[in-house]
Every structure is written in structure tokens, then in C-alpha cells.
Amino acid sequence: MTDNTIKYQLDEEHIPKAWYNIQADMPTPTPPVLHPGTKQPIGPDDLSPLFPMSLIMQEVSTEREIEIPQPVREIYRMWRPTPLIRARALEKALGTPAKIFYKNEGVSPAGSHKPNTAIPQAFYNKEAGVKRLTTETGAGQWGASLALAGAMFGLDVTVYQVRVSFDQKPYRRALMETYGARCLPSPSDTTAFGRHVLATRPDHPGSLGIAISEAVEIAVQDPETKYALGSVLNHVMLHQTVIGQEAMEQLVMADAWPDVVIGCAGGGSNFAGISFPFIGKGLRGEAKKPRIIAVEPAACPTLTRGTYAYDFGDTGHLTPLVKMYTLGSNFTPPGFHSGGLRYHGMSALVSHLKELGEIEAVAYQQRACFDAAVTFARAEGIVPAPESTHAIKAAIEEALRCKREGKAETILFNLSGHGHFDMGAYIDYFSGRLVDASYDEGELAAALADLPAVG
């Protein structure tokens, strides 16, 4: 390492051997998941129509370390460890005394952090004898990642893609098909719930909540078909912790420890991935806990404007009830460009940490985020995914605060993906067509008024 190192690279042997489970270090346990009918805590068997038992056990585990199976580590080697980059050019462009580091998860074959969980999910399903996986996707990042994982393990994959993204982003659909998956626009006429939504509104733009209902409906009808979720669930947060664990080791190489850790948050998984290992060190008293910031779109502000309450994960009300920050399961966010951040709910673990005051949350409008993305691209050379622009915006704000305060803090953020399939959003930005979408306050109030009553 020299004084002007840019890339902190680890050898393949440094891929973590275990995922880090923050449930072992939570100051108080997360509230139980409830059955949607009885409103009583559910047991592992209630989830078995949807997931293999190995993933269900990870969902409820309080063991601190969960071993990463060797076949999963073998596939992780294709792109892990991902580089940690010191954003020296961005620091210079901003004139900040802060040190900015980012973890580049855009180097995976699908272009985002999502294969970190798609690969183990496909592995555990294959091991359990499952033949087919159904799932939902917004912008197509998750669908493409599960399609990749399906190709690696020989599983059929059917993806319900939110209609607006299906129409706006044909290239990710082509990517899913290249990996051998079937991609359908949601709402679709292949499920009872999809037909119900189309009957009430034939031009419905779709939402992640609706697409989840469709994928779940198909999975519960066939014992050889299971469902896979790309975010929100505890086991997804768990799998993503390879990001933060590697970053910690790479920061040691740089002789640094973060004052601030930042991630964008849709369902919370890439944010959890970069931040949970640092939060855990802090909770165990082994290191100074950094400030931890989740960044969300102002048009779908779950952590900053939502309510911490029991809610359904989907619009069709097929899923269990989870205590989380939510905008209400009937809330349809406006059609803005960060499809991966258009979800009404939030990971229970991330929500619980927010409630405990362990993390902060901020929301930004999309134009300001694209301004930040262009500044970043012109300095660092990487064109970020629209979702990742939110983390960049927050990192730049923190770096400018350091400049005003004359502080040389260390800022770490997660670059969750590249934007090569999202150039339509950049075309809109440069032509002035990218406007700040706002949600309807009346619709939000109505969706929150509709939260299920839990005693």
C-alpha cells in the first residue's frame, strides 16, 4: 500500500467464510412475525410452502456466524471480494478534507449486490429438491440475479416484473431471458390476484407489492415450486453481510475506520450488507460505532415518513405480518426511475435498528441524486444505478459538511450497482424530462389508515 492507493483488493481466500447475523447482537429482539389470519406468532412450518427449511432456520437464527457453504463460496469467487475504492478524484472535485471510500458491488455478473443472496437462495432450494423458483422484480436487478443463480444451479425461474419497469427497461428483461428465465409483466392474467387488479384498473403500472402476491400465489400451488425474495427478509440481510465484512478488512489495509457508513435503502439489503458488520462491532463494544445512514427516495420515503407497525409484505395480503416501517401495503408510489426503491415496506431488522436509534435515515428527490451521480461519474468513471445515486448524494452531502466544518472524517458508502441498463433514466435527465415525482399525501394517509389491526 502506498500513500495514494485507489483500489484495495483482497484475494479470493479472503471471501468471508461465514455470514454475520446481527440478530445475535440486537439490544432487544425483533418483534415476532405474525400469521395473517390468527395474528399469532408463526412457526417455521408456516413458511415451508414458500421457502426451504434451511433458509427458514436462517430467518429465525440468533447464531452470530452462519457458515457459507463451499459451493456458494465457489460461485462468489467469480466477482468477490469486490474492490474497495478510495474516491480520491471525487474528494478532489468536492475540495473536501474527508476520505471517501466506496465498495463497488456493480462488478458482479448481474451488475449489482443482488447475486450475493440469489446464489445462496438457489443453492439451498436446489439442495432441498426444488425444481422451480418464482419471484418479483422492479427494475429487473433482482430478476436478473435470480435468473443468473437459476442458471448456475439448474433451476427454472419465473419472474413477475412490475409493469412500468417491464415497459421501460427491456434490456434487463433480455438479460433474464439470456440466463434462461421467463419474465412476465405484473399485474398479469396468469394469477387470480393479477386478474383481480387488472379488472379494477386495466392500465395498472404495477408495484412490487402486487408482483410479490403473484409470485407467492404461483409458488404455494406447487410443492416443487418455491418463492425467492430479493430483499426485506432476515436471511437476505444476512447473505449481504459479505459486503461489510470485506470492507472492514479492506479499510484495515487503508489504516482507516469509518465515521459514517451510507447505503441506499429499498427493502434494506445492500444497506444492511455494508452496515450490519460495523453496527455489530459497535454493539459488542469492540470498536467505535460509526454514524449509519440509510438513504431513500423522497417519492417512496418508508423510513422517514412511514409508520412502524405490523403490515403485510404484499398488496394481495398473502404474506405474514411483519413489524416494520411501512407506507401501507396499498400504497402505490409514483413511477420514478429507481425501481428497486419503490417498495412500501422495509426490512424488519433495519426497521428495528431505526426504532432503537442505531441508524439514521434521509430522503432525497431523484433530480438531486442524478446531479450527484453525474458529479461522481465524471470524477470516478463509474455510471451508477439510479438506486445507488441516493447513496452517492448522501456521501457527497456528508463530504461537503466535512468541508464546512474542516473535518477529515472517513466516509464509506455502498455503490450497490452500475447503471448500464438504466441509461434511459440518464437520457431523461439530460433532456430535462426527469422530474421530481411526488406521492399523493391523501393516498399515503389512506394506505396508512388501512394498516391491519393487531392487538
Q: Does 388 bind ligand PLP (CB under 6 A)?
A: yes
Minimum distance of ligand PLP from residue 122's CB (angstroms): 17
Minimum distance of ligand PLP from residue 5's CB (angstroms): 26
Peptide bond connecting 81 to the previous residue in cis, omega within 30 degrees of 0: yes
Of 114 and 281, CB closest to ligand PLP: 114
Name the 3-class secondary structure at 73: helix
Amino acid at site 218: I
Q: Does 302 bind ligand PLP (CB under 6 A)?
A: no
Cβ-proximal residues to 43 (8 Å cutoff; 6+ apart), any chain: none
Query: Contact with ligand PLP (CB under 6 A): which of 186, 269, 275, 319?
Result: 269
Of 16 and 138, CB closest to ligand PLP: 138
Distance between CA atoms of residues 302 and 321, nearest Å: 17
Name the 3-class secondary structure at 360: strand
- Among the residues of 183-301, which ranges form H helices? 192-200, 208-220, 234-240, 242-253, 269-283
Cβ-proximal residues to 59 (8 Å cutoff; 6+ apart), any chain: 47, 51, 233, 234, 235
Query: Contact with ligand PLP (CB under 6 A): which of 344, 416, 426, 429?
Result: 416
Distance between CA atoms of residues 90 and 241, nearest Å: 26
Instruction: Return the range that interacts with ligand PLP (CB under 6 A); candidates 7-15, 163-171, 351-359, 384-392.
Output: 384-392
Say what angle helices 269-283 and 348-355 make with each other, to 10 degrees: 50
Of 142 and 364, CB closest to ligand PLP: 142
Of 358 and 409, CB closest to ligand PLP: 358
Minimum distance of ligand PLP from residue 82's CB (angstroms): 13
Task: Note whether 376 and 90 are within 8 A (CB).
Answer: yes
Of 205 and 297, CB closest to ligand PLP: 297
Report which DSSP code applies to 384: B
Chain residues 101-120 in contact with ligand PLP, contact rule CB under 6 A: 112, 114
Q: Does 244 bind ligand PLP (CB under 6 A)?
A: no
Query: Contact with ligand PLP (CB under 6 A): which of 358, 387, 397, 409?
Result: 387
Q: Does 231 bind ligand PLP (CB under 6 A)?
A: yes
Distance between CA atoms of residues 203 and 208, nearest Å: 16
Locus of grid cell 470516478 = 380
Output the nine-digit C-alpha cell for 449.
389508515
Q: Does 341 bind ligand PLP (CB under 6 A)?
A: yes
Distance between CA atoms of residues 187 and 202, nearest Å: 9
Minimum distance of ligand PLP from residue 161's CB (angstroms): 13
Q: Does 385 bind ligand PLP (CB under 6 A)?
A: yes
Q: Does 366 bind ligand PLP (CB under 6 A)?
A: no
Cβ of 51: how many Cβ atoms within 10 Å?
A: 25
Q: Does 265 bind ligand PLP (CB under 6 A)?
A: yes
Q: Does 340 bind ligand PLP (CB under 6 A)?
A: yes
Q: Which residues bind ligand PLP (CB under 6 A)?
A: 112, 114, 141-142, 231, 264-271, 340-341, 385, 387-388, 416-417
